[in-house]
């Protein structure tokens, strides 16, 4: 890690942070669903991103595509380039880094059913998350870019974190408030993707929050084996990963 030593305890992802939207085909109903801001300006969700810190990929490591856990079929994946925050005690932000939230989108947008949490299976597996090295301070309004290299062709896109709907420092409390709402709504039960560590009313020190993305990858550039994908910014450098199955 660059400039700081940080022990990660858990990784949590956030959804609906930016005003980006894209209709995505629901794999079950064949209907249309909205991916982001069309859920409403106050929409929010979170999810556990890894089962264990050993599942995190670092700079130069391999992101891994997954097959559908029930059918064994290949499914669509997309990349989500993000700013990441590292929490110390009492939700203090101790560092910032780049991250890539690889998502099995076709699974994520299936309908929930008994014993199948589509967010969990579409977000959480070994090699679905890469994190860069954190730095201790950062102007939170920065440009973040993504580059995908494939067979001699290149796709690039970028956004600025100033477009976010919420301050990053507010995310820990919003996560806890939403978690409490889910517990009350579901008689004290949480879906697998919503099970996160909480200690004395706080996310524990060592929590990493992936703050959401301002880019929706076009279908032509959905993830493929052999891709080299980079998330980059002037302030945080580059997080470069190869993609395998």
* CATH number of the domain to which 91 belongs: 3.90.850.10
Q: Is residue 145 part of a domain?
A: yes
For the chain, what is the domain count?
1
Q: Is residue 1 part of a domain?
A: no
Q: 198 burial class (0-12, 13-18, 19+ CB within 10 angstroms)?
A: middle
Contacts of 188 (CB under 8 A, 6+ apart): none
CA 154 to chain centre: 23
Q: Kindly tell me if the per-residue pLDDT of 73 is higher than 70.
A: yes
Q: Is residue 172 part of a domain?
A: yes
pLDDT band at 169 (very low <50, low <70, confident <90, very high): very high
* pLDDT value, residue 20: 65
Handedness of CA 46, 209, 244, 53 (dihedral sign): negative
Q: Is residue 4 part of a domain?
A: no
* pLDDT value, residue 24: 43
Structure-block tokens of residue 202: 């706080």
Among 47, 8, 243, residue whose Cα is nearest residue 128: 243
Mean pLDDT score across all residues of the chain: 89
Q: Which is higher by pLDDT, 43 or 10?
A: 10
SS3 state at 202: strand
CA 91 to chain centre: 19
SS3 state at 107: helix
Q: What is the mean pLDDT of residues 45-51?
A: 96
* pLDDT value, residue 145: 97
Alpha helical stretches, state H, the chain = 105-108, 118-123, 171-185
Q: Is residue 43 part of a domain?
A: yes
- Asked if residue 242 lies in contact with residue 164, where contact means CB atoms within 8 angstroms, the answer is no
Q: Is residue 188 part of a domain?
A: yes
Characterize 88-108 residue by residue with b for buried, 16 or more Cβ atoms within 10 angstroms of its Cβ, and e for exposed. eeebebbbbbbbbbbbbbbbb
Q: Is residue 5 part of a domain?
A: no
Contacts of 78 (CB under 8 A, 6+ apart): 102, 103, 105, 216, 217, 221, 222, 223
Q: What is the mean pLDDT of residues 164-188?
A: 95
Q: Is residue 17 part of a domain?
A: yes
For the whole model, what pTM was predicted?
0.90
Residue-number span of the structural domain to which 179 is assigned: 10-244
* pLDDT value, residue 40: 53
């Amino acid at each position: 890690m660059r400039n700081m030593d940080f022990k990660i305890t858990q990784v949590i992802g956030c959804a609906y942070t930016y005003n980006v939207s894209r209709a995505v085909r629901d794999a079950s109903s064949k209907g249309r669903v909205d991916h982001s801001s069309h859920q409403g300006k106050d929409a929010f969700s979170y999810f556990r991103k890894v089962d264990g810190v050993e599942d995190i990929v670092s700079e130069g490591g391999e992101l891994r595509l997954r097959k559908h856990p029930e059918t064994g079929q290949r499914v669509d994946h997309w990349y989500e380039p993000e700013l990441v925050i590292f929490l110390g005690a009492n939700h203090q932000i101790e560092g910032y880094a780049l991250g890539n939230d690889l998502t099995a989108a076709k699974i994520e947008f299936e309908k929930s059913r008994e014993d199948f949490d589509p967010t969990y299976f579409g977000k959480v597996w070994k090699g679905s998350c890469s994190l860069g090295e954190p730095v201790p301070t950062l102007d939170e309004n920065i440009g973040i870019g993504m580059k995908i290299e494939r067979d001699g062709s290149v796709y690039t896109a970028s956004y600025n974190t100033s477009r976010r709907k919420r301050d990053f420092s507010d995310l820990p409390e919003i996560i806890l408030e939403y978690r409490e709402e889910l517990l009350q709504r579901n008689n004290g039960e949480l879906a697998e993707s919503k099970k996160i560590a909480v200690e004395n009313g706080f996310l524990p020190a060592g929590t990493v929050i992936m703050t959401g993305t301002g880019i929706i990858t076009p279908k032509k550039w959905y993830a493929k084996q052999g891709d080299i994908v980079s998330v980059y910014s002037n302030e945080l450098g580059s997080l470069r990963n190869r993609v395998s199955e």
